[in-house]
Homo-oligomer: A and B are copies of this chain.
């Protein structure tokens, strides 16, 4: 299978971030053979697609998500105690393998439509998540959560590790699914479990680990009270602050934390909308990146950030840094797109395989339709992508050389079934919320 995309405004997202007019991409099987300025090579039997000047760029990387939580989108919005009032009770009752499949399918559908080709997920029943991501055609780093607050799929750490073993048994070696470990957060797993995860990684080098880190005020107090440390320092003490750790949020890291993180080789998943919506503040992303810590742009779950495309994150990501630093020049648009592509791939330890359009890399790419009036004039393609484009402008999506979407039609998931399954469970949530509200009064 040979595909040739021609007449592209090519944004390969290689480190120098060029914009190549009249560019082409040559895909053979699952890999990119060539990408650059035209003329395209003459290839017998190739499917030739003239994109008419549309942008072709790498598929985007979402390094922190809870896909199944799409079913909680907007539930209890603006209610300060919604976690305890709604979310945790609903999770205890309703999080089952069918619920996880339904929510994950809806999430995959939305992400494909928004140009996200790789997602890092952590939630419950992650073998089910991996199966749905496999079916969707997306690439995923799929992490089984291990937590000590009696989560829906395990009663203790042993059971959590058993679920993880199941995930690894089914998906190790899969071309698109990378199984991963996901200790929930320092305060919700404690040092012993983090240490056990670290030993597991010692035995299985290169396994990515996902964890919430330095996200909330109570977490900071927990670390201070129990260890007289920051959560980052507790993580280091547990042996888990190491290359391969994808640390989500990092809202409250201080200068010493940042130095320790840089030294340790960890990476950060930044969740601007989720943090902003929670009123938590602005994560010190400019300082983290100045310390050469790779930072990716993440959506968090739809319960927290409401959307799963990166376009909806771009504005908050750059505006928050400009506001925090008091300058229009901070977090320029080009850096935002860098974080959404190659830097995001680096966060997941995959920069050698995805994140840019280069010979030998996996053919994960998207086409952005430039026909909308609201995108024009275009003086700077990065500014246009960050400040004017939206998920709807993504027209085609390819992963590993396979089309997941053409002309906005998702080819790997059945729209009607995805929506029907999701809305069925949402109606059960609504009924339960009525009961919870009655209890609350």
User: A interface vs B, CB < 8 Å?
Assistant: 71, 73-80, 82, 106, 109-110, 113-114, 273, 276-282, 306-309, 312, 315-316, 318-320, 322-323, 325-330, 332-333, 372-374, 376-380, 382-384, 387-388, 390-392, 415, 418-419, 422-423, 426, 429-430, 433
Contact = CB atoms under 8 A, between A and B. Distances in A.
Contact of A316 (B306, B315, B378): B315
Contacts of A423: 376-377
Contact of A306 (B114, B282, B387, B430): B387
Contacts of A307: 374, 387-388
Contacts of A390: 312, 390-392
B374 A276 contact: no
B273 A332 contact: no
Contact of A378 (B74, B281, B312): B74
A429 B378 CA distance: 11
A329 B373 contact: no
Contact of A325 (B279, B422, B433): B279
Interface centre among A78, A109, A276, A279 (most CB of B within 10 A): A78
Given A276-B322, A323-B279, A332 B78 contact: yes
Given A378-B74, A392-B392, A430-B379, A328 B279 contact: yes
Interface centre among A315, A383, A422 (most CB of B within 10 A): A315
Interface centre among A384, A387, A392, A430 (most CB of B within 10 A): A387
A74 B325 CA distance: 21
A392 B109 CA distance: 18
B377 A329 contact: no
Contacts of A312: 315, 390
A321 to B, nearest CB: 9
Nearest to A109: B373
B377 A426 contact: yes
Contacts of A382: 77
